[in-house]
Amino acid sequence: MNRLKFTLNSDQLELLLAFEIAKGLSHLAELMAKDPSVISRNLQKIAEDFPVLIKVKGRWEITPLGLQINQQTRSYLEDQKKIILKAIEQKKPKSLLFNESSILIIINAQNGLFDDTQEDRNNSEAEANIARLLHVWRSKNRKIIHVKHVSDNPKSIFFKGSTGGNFLKIAEPVADEVVIEKTKSSAFADTDLIKILNKESCTNLILVGFTANECIDATAKDAMALGFDTFVSSDATATFDLRDSTGKLVKADRIHKLTLLNINAFSAKVMTTNEILSTP
């Protein structure tokens, strides 16, 4: 069986479409992002092989057959675009807000991260976006889990019972919202989180909080390994400046962007707060 192929190739079809709307050779070359001499040769080649172009008084003109071919090409491209967009739409994650199995997990939203001893951070809107997500999740009676980092070391910013270990005002648990204490980076490590999620028949996790490059990243990796569909809010997380092995300062914004890039590539879908709250 012979392989099907276009009579005019795709480049020739695109050139013929552009020719119909172009205002002269220079404009056509601009539309095709090619040198005018290349365009001229390509037009000559098309005219030699197919009766879709003809020269009249030294100027190329499109023939009735060329117009018919263009009409068919446009129709084909429109149909192709519709099919592809439909497939993309079907692959988009369903609304996280109205999915009862979607659980919001707030990690390390605690005072200790924001005292005067910490390096500068990025994303000053993180707390406001966490508050937005909390408000909407509560209004829809969706499940919320608060994860608190704790330490027995009195010098730790998360020392048990200290002000630093307390939740930020905007992220304090209410009513029967679950609180989990952890001592390691991942919210799954040595905690009952997996048991709680399985009991709730959870499939989707939305991770927010601090910091993106440590606890969010570690939790997202474990969630992926456990088979959960995991989402991270890019603007409801933040990162702090760090120093490399030579003492050189690396700014938080750069660390945050690279961390989210890595998370999105290997562990979880990274979305904005608006995207998480929007419906399909």
CA–CA gap between residue 162 and residue 152 (Å, rounded)? 11
Whether the Cβ atoms of residue 238 and residue 252 lie closer than 8 Å to each other? yes
CA–CA gap between residue 35 and residue 179 (Å, rounded)? 65
Find tokens 């999915």 and name the residue: 99
Q: What is the pTM of this model?
A: 0.66
- In the chain the first and final C-alpha atoms are separated, in Å, by 43
Structure tokens at 223: 């969630």
Whether the Cβ atoms of residue 29 and residue 39 lie closer than 8 Å to each other? yes
Give the Å distances, CA to CA, from 149 to 122, 156, 167, 186, 218: 21, 10, 10, 10, 13
CA 140 to chain centre: 24
Domains, the chain, ranges and CATH?
Answer: 10-88 (1.10.10.10), 102-277 (3.40.50.850)
49-79: pLDDT as tens digits: 999 999 998 899 999 999 999 999 999 999 9
CA 11 to chain centre: 32
CA–CA gap between residue 252 and residue 121 (Å, rounded)? 5
Of how many residues is the chain composed?
A: 280
pLDDT for 115 equals 65
pLDDT for 176 equals 87
pLDDT for 120 equals 87
pLDDT less than 70: residues of the chain: 1, 89-98, 115-119, 279-280
pLDDT for 87 equals 84
pLDDT for 94 equals 58
Tell me the chain's radius of gyration from C-alpha atoms.
28
What is the overall mean pLDDT for the chain? Answer: 89
pLDDT for 92 equals 61
Q: List the Cα angle 152/158/163 in 5-degree steps.
A: 110
Give the Å distances, CA to CA, from 115 to 84, 119, 163, 165, 280: 50, 9, 10, 11, 40
